[in-house]
Structure 1
Amino acid sequence: MIMEALDSLPQGGANKSSMTKFMESKYGELPAGHANLLSDHLNKMKDNGELLLIKNNYIKAGPDALPKRGRGRPSKPKDPLPEGAVPAPPRPRGRPRKDPNAPPAPKKPKLPPGPPSLSKSGKPRGRPRKVNPELMQNDVEA
Structure 2
Amino acid sequence: MATEELSKPSFLPPYPQMIMEAIAAVKEADGANKSTISQYIEAKYGVLGAPNAELLNHHLTAMKDGNEILFVKNNYLLPTSDGPVKRGRGRPPKVKEGPPPAGANVGPPRPRGRPKKDPNAPPAPKKAKTAAATGPPSGRPRGRPRKVQPLQNGVEA
TM-score of the superposed pair, with normalisation by structure 1 = 0.48
